[in-house]
A = this chain, B = another copy of it.
Amino acid sequence: MPIKIGILGLGTVGCGVVQVLQQNALEIQTRSHCEFEIKGILDRDLHSERGVTGDFLLTDQPNEILQDPEIDIIVEVMGGIEPARTFILEALQHGKHVVTANKDLIALHGHELLDAADKAGKELCFEASVGGGIPIIAALKESLAANRITDVIGIINGTTNYILTAMAEQGREYAEVLAEAQKLGYAEANPSADVDGLDAARKLAILASIAFNSRVALKDVFVEGISKITREDLAYAAELGCTIKLLAIAKHQDEEIEVRVHPAILPNDHPLASVNGVFNAIYVVGDAVGETMFYGRGAGSLPTGSAIVSDIMRIARNIQSSSKSPLNCSCYLDLPIKATSDFHTAFYIRLLVKDEPRVLATLAQLFAEANISFASIIQKPRGEHQAEIVLVTHPCREGSLQEALASVKAYSKVHNIHNVIRFENGQ
């Protein structure tokens, strides 16, 4: 008896799932020791040509899929919060396992959905919700399960990585590259969720919850986007032997969790520094395994389809052996979230100042009063009587940095604080 699949949504990802199941049917069947059949697909649009065909029901009636007693596994790839949430809850109630690629939903309602899956004795798998085809959820939940994970640092938003890579490689400005990315389909017409860091923050909440076995909510994540990054900053970063990436950083130290998404200056020899274009990578440090990294395409119909079908195959094995996989909720801790003012990082500060004697000495004094010292300094003339200064601090408390910046801002010889960017040395 084949295992029967119902798919909610026949957009890009839904088509990817159908395509992977069809083109690799023989491999999937032989490796799983069972056959799969797509029984039905739900979509509002019953008529558009999408390049997929098959012997399945295409319907706009949710109950024809959700209540079909023959369907074993529901694949939710419609996206958005509602009705996806309600459909998943109904599917679980009707005794179906669920596979979803929906990061927004898992980040916001993962708790509720995983509890419902537990209660129903069914599985809810979401490998595709973070990092597209990169098997990072399985790595954190299973392959690295013998470790205390201390750091998860990800480049998990392809749009921003495409933009920052193009800015760095071609010396172009943010707005220009964003417009190009929109034209190429790498960025949406309203790019806010990507460029403001929200998409990465959702994925980080999911990764941190799994890595640290403690629920991390979206609201716990400090978020800063990339729109303030200029080509000047990228040029200075290059001068410092670094690049700039939008990093999603989760750390577990001293029984606290620190979660933040922001552009960060990263040394070129860090494994994440050479992750370019639309690629994603997640760098994970565990106390036993040390440094690891998982790299691949973070989006796209086939990479996402790869992750979804591997979840389907995982569920199929458990159906066949009547066992339960370990992929349901594993948040058995309730760790506090570190306050932003307690973050401890180095900073890059780019200032425009009056080119006069003692300005640098005064700046150093203002930072020293907040207990902050410098690791390196670059100064360049800018027109007459002005200088641009880049200060790179040693690691310091974020609260202290904010105090120092307030004093610097009030200092009459400082014309402008152009930018403040965190430094991440990856340790």
Which of A26-34, A48-56, A229-237 binds B? A26-34
Please tell me if A121 contacts chain B, counting CB pairs below 8 Å: no
**Apart from A133-B144, A281-B293, what 20 extra A-B contacts exist at CB < 8 Å?**
A27-B145, A127-B143, A133-B286, A133-B288, A134-B292, A138-B138, A138-B142, A139-B139, A139-B143, A144-B310, A147-B306, A279-B291, A288-B306, A288-B309, A290-B302, A290-B303, A291-B295, A293-B295, A321-B322, A321-B323
A21 to B147 alpha-carbon distance, docked (Å): 10
Residue A46 at the chain B interface, CB threshold 8 Å = no
A305 is an interface residue with CB less than 8 A from chain B: yes
The answer, yes or no, to whether A271 is at the interface (CB within 8 Å) is yes
How many chain A residues touch B (CB < 8 A): the figure is: 63
The answer to the question of A338 belonging to the interface, with a C-beta cut-off of 8 Å to chain B, is: no
A344 interfacial by beta-carbon distance below 8 Å: no
A316 → chain B, closest Cβ, in Å?
Answer: 10
Contact with B along A26-66 (1 / 0, CB 8 A): 01101110000000000000000000000000000000000
Q: How far is the CB of A329 from chain B (nearest CB, A)?
A: 12
**A297 interface residue (CB < 8 Å to B):** yes
* B293 x A148 contact (CB < 8 A): no
Name A149's closest neighbour in chain B (CB-CB).
B27
Residue of B nearest to A296 (CB): B292
CB-based contact B135/A144 at 8 Å = yes
A24 to B149 CA separation, bound complex (whole angstroms): 11
B290 to A296, Cβ gap below 8 A? yes
Q: Which residues of B contact A293 (CB under 8 A)?
A: 281, 293-296
| Bound CA span A307–B142, Å | 10
Bound-state Cα–Cα, A90 to B309, Å? 38
- Please report the C-alpha to C-alpha distance between residue A31 and residue B140 in the assembled complex, in whole angstroms: 11
Closest to A321 in B: B323
Residue of B nearest to A317 (CB): B326
Q: Which one, B31, B213, B292, B310, contacts A31 given CB within 8 A?
A: B213
Closest chain B residue to A288, Cβ basis: B306
Q: Determine if A112 is an interface residue (Cβ-Cβ < 8 Å).
A: no
Q: Is B288 a contact partner of A24 (Cβ separation < 8 A)?
A: yes
Name the 4 nearest CB pairs between A and B, nearest first.
Answer: A135-B143, A321-B323, A146-B309, A323-B323
A267-322 at interface with B (beta carbon < 8 Å): 269, 271, 274, 276, 279, 281, 286-297, 300, 302-303, 305-307, 309-310, 312-314, 317-318, 321-322
| Neighbouring B residues of A306 by C-beta, 8 Å | 144, 146-147, 286, 288-289
Given A291-B297, A292-B134: A323 in contact with B326 (beta carbons within 8 A): no
A145 touches B274 (CB 8 A): no
- Cβ contact within 8 Å between A135 and B139: yes
The residues in A between 115 and 150 inclusive whose CB is less than 8 angstroms from any CB of B are: 127, 133-135, 138-139, 142-148
Inter-chain contact B148/A143, CB cutoff 8 Å: no
A360 is an interface residue with CB less than 8 A from chain B: no
